[in-house]
Chain A
Amino acid sequence: MLGNLINQGRIKSPWVVHFDCGSCNGCDIEVLACLTPLYDIERFGILNIGNPKHADVLLVTGTVNQRNKHVLKNIYDQMPTPKAVIAIGACGCSGGVFREAYNVVGGVDKVIPVDVYVPGCPARPEAIIDGVVAALEKVKKLLGMTA
């Protein structure tokens, strides 16, 4: 009963944490633009939060490099389950234009499991909101809430 209530809350108001993992800023500012009046992601109950320990969804922008892969793994491990990871932008999905650079490991999925890929260079705010909604469907399934 209580568990059900908590799960309802998770789905209705997911908290997201954003980590910039070596992106060019293009996708970061689009993630931030989602929060601002024109796109206003908060109308879906989605709240951007600074602490990974409070978050349900991890938004990762940009390629993974040799140094920040440890940070990314660390943030992912700190998040409570159930959690969803969204890779944003061409770089987050596959490495994008930087895939041949010497310090680049590749897409986010080289380090942590990714649930949703949002393409685009940079991804549009609408696409990012879509991605979060798609990720929530996955979390729903994980919780056995396919209604």
Chain B
Amino acid sequence: MARTILPFGPQHPVLPEPLHLKLTIEDETVVEALPTLGYVHRGLEKLCEVRDFNQMIQIVERVCGICSCLHALCYCEGVEQIMGVEVPRRAKYLRTIWGELHRVHSHLLWLGLFADAFGFESLFMQFWRVRERIMDIMEATCGNRVVVSVNVIGGVRRDLTPEQCKWIEEQVAIAEKEIRQLSSTILNDYTVKKRCCGKGVLTKDQAYQLGAVGPMLRGSGWAQDARQTGYAAFGELGFEPIVEYDGDSYARSAVRFRETLQSLDIVRLAIARLPEGEIASKVKGKPQGETVTRVEQPRGELMYYLKADGSKHMDRVRIRTPTFANIPPLLAMLPGCELADVPVIVLSIDPCISCTER
């Protein structure tokens, strides 16, 4: 049969970001998919040579605006490990609260975009309406809606007052109620299931061998989550990953939906157990040494390799972002699918191209 090459992106209505896929199609079936990256590549790992190790926090936060808090958290934990800084317990809990709020807003954002990808615009609007509640919490507690710059080396920059904690608990309760109202639509609706079930299947072995991370890995039946390693306050709060077994787009959206509710629970638990005390410890000297740190971003496991040589600039900041690891599984999922399912499958990995290319 004759083959056609179809460009998908870089400017495409379902993609908020530029990713280019060269799809070879036979009739309506995709035979091969080749990615072209580099539309968002800025080279910000290299900026560690012009910015000192404190200023790098602002840079790594802008690796990705959606999960900025967790990038900063990962970087700060790395530098703290190198310098041997002990972070106060209260700061650890506060980091957890903001980190999990970030996950909630990112998952709601994705659930909306995913609904939009299969043409369910009112569901997109509903999810984003709930998300604004979380954005309000961020703005009230940190001063900015998206880039929440609270992490510093040694702790956090801002504290929560008891009134704020109470208000957050109220808002979280309302948000949870509103999210639960949407559960029957995203999880049980006939049309939604028709578009998601059995699309973009990644088997358990494939997912592991191709290096998938985050909801991709958990949607395929692996109970792996970097939060189990106990960074921030997870060591004290305890954590059980959410797992689905089908490995298709539906399983991934179910993982993310359930994680949203789970994260709201973690926020409440962390607020309830919030210890008293300092929010940042004094940091002296300059880092020297190397380390690897991992945190769980909304999209999956994020890894930083940091090397410092005792000067005020880091020697090397290597960032392995989750979408970078999820692109090879995407390339394995696309061949064999129908052209109309490509947007759904691409969206189901929760692509964050600015993370991928940095």
Q: Which residue numbers of A lie inside 8 Å of B, CB to CB?
A: 17-30, 32-33, 36-38, 50-52, 62-63, 65, 67-68, 71, 75, 96-98, 100-104, 121-122, 124
- Contact mask B337-358 → A, CB, 8 Å, 1/0? 0000000000000001010000
CA distance A121 to B16 in the complex (A): 18
Q: How far is the CB of A83 from chain B (nearest CB, A)?
A: 15
CA distance A98 to B45 in the complex (A): 10
Name, among B41, B68, B135, the residue most crowded by chain A CB atoms within 10 Å (CB to CB). Answer: B41
- Contact mask B114-141 → A, CB, 8 Å, 1/0? 0000000000110011011001000000
CA distance A36 to B129 in the complex (A): 7
Choice from A17, A30, A65, A100 contacting B146 with Cβ under 8 Å: A30
Contact B354 A25 (CB under 8 A): yes
Confirm or deny: B34 has a beta carbon within 8 angstroms of a beta carbon on chain A. no
Contact B43 A103 (CB under 8 A): yes
Q: How far is the CB of A22 from chain B (nearest CB, A)?
A: 4
Confirm or deny: B167 has a beta carbon within 8 angstroms of a beta carbon on chain A. no
How extensive is the interface on chain B, given as a class?
Answer: 35 or more
Q: How many A-B residue pairs have CB under 8 A?
A: 123
Choice from B43, B66, B125, B132 contacting A101 with Cβ under 8 Å: B43
Contact A32 B39 (CB under 8 A): no
Choice from B44, B47, B129 contacting A38 with Cβ under 8 Å: B129
Contact A103 B65 (CB under 8 A): no
Assuming the contacts A20-B18, A24-B63, A122-B147, asked whether A33 and B41 have C-beta atoms less than 8 A apart, the reply is no
Q: Which residue of B lies closest to A103 (CB)?
A: B43
Confirm or deny: B46 has a beta carbon within 8 angstroms of a beta carbon on chain A. yes
A sample of 8 more A-B contacts (CB under 8 A), given A30-B146, A36-B112, is: A20-B354, A33-B135, A37-B125, A62-B354, A63-B42, A98-B44, A98-B47, A100-B47
Confirm or deny: B332 has a beta carbon within 8 angstroms of a beta carbon on chain A. no
Q: How far is the CB of B325 from chain A (nearest CB, A)?
A: 18
The interface stretch among B6-14, B182-190, B239-247 is B6-14
CA distance A50 to B15 in the complex (A): 10
Contact A25 B39 (CB under 8 A): no
Assuming the contacts A23-B354, A98-B62, asked whether A104 and B145 have C-beta atoms less than 8 A apart, the reply is no
Contact A101 B47 (CB under 8 A): yes
CA distance A62 to B10 in the complex (A): 15
Q: Which residue of B lies closest to A49 (CB)?
A: B13
Hey, which chain A residues are within 8 Å of B11, CB to CB? 17, 19, 52, 71, 75
Choice from A32, A63, A101 contacting B128 with Cβ under 8 Å: A32
Contact B46 A23 (CB under 8 A): no
Hey, which chain B residues are within 8 Å of A62, CB to CB? 40, 354
Hey, which chain B residues are within 8 Å of A63, CB to CB? 42
Contact B42 A101 (CB under 8 A): yes
CA distance A102 to B44 in the complex (A): 8
Q: Which residue of B lies closest to A74 (CB)?
A: B11
Confirm or deny: B198 has a beta carbon within 8 angstroms of a beta carbon on chain A. no
Hey, which chain B residues are within 8 Å of A101, CB to CB? 42-44, 46-47
Q: How far is the CB of B204 from chain A (nearest CB, A)?
A: 31
Contact B41 A103 (CB under 8 A): yes
Hey, which chain B residues are within 8 Å of A97, CB to CB? 47, 58-59, 62
